[in-house]
Homo-oligomer: A and B are copies of this chain.
Amino acid sequence: MDDIDRSLVRLLEQDARRTYHELSKDVRLSANTVADRVRRLRASGVVRGFRAEVDPAALGRALTMVSDIRLREHVDRTAFEHGLRSVPQVVAGARLTGEYDYQLRLACVDPAEFETVVDLLKRDHGVRELRSRLVLHDIEVDASGLLDLA
């Protein structure tokens, strides 16, 4: 993990489809060596993958909610997590410690759709309680800061 690897990760974070040849000009190494380094970053797990980023707003889902969730007693957590796959509005989720069991991020067309999702989660997925709020906007953060300390 040297400076060059850090630069490569930063560049690929901005555009994962940059060619090795382009990257090589930025870091002043041969395209060959760049390809080697990127393969190593992937193999070591530092770079988990290259993903297309989808914008829910461009698909008409401009309303994003964050919902803390408490499950009913005796609800199997694995089943709950797996069941979320059938709810297309769920765009992210995590199990947390503390007062609530999970936190979900829900991308909805409008409040009416959010309402149906809330009802669905309560009726079919073992959700006992929700505490939701609206996402006003996301803060852009690059992951390159993490690299500085590694």
Contacts and interface: CB of A to CB of B under 8 A. Distances in A.
Contacts of A48: 53-55, 58
Tell me how many chains of this kind the complex includes. Answer: 2
A27 B43 CA distance: 28
A66 B103 contact: yes
A51 interface: yes
A139 B82 CA distance: 9
A50 B53 contact: yes
A29 interface: no
Interface in A1-41: 1, 9, 12-17
Contact of A135 (B94, B135, B145): B94
Interface in A53-98: 53-61, 66, 81, 84-85, 87-98
Given A94-B137, A96-B66, A47 B56 contact: no
A139 B94 contact: yes
B46 A58 contact: yes
Contacts of A9: 52, 54
B13 A139 contact: no
A138 interface: yes
A50 B139 contact: no
A16 to B, nearest CB: 4
Please name the 6 residue pairs, one residue from A and one from B, whose CB atoms are nearest each other, closest first: A88-B145, A98-B133, A12-B52, A93-B139, A16-B50, A45-B58
12 contacts: A9-B52, A9-B54, A17-B17, A47-B53, A51-B51, A54-B147, A59-B146, A84-B139, A85-B141, A91-B143, A92-B141, A98-B133
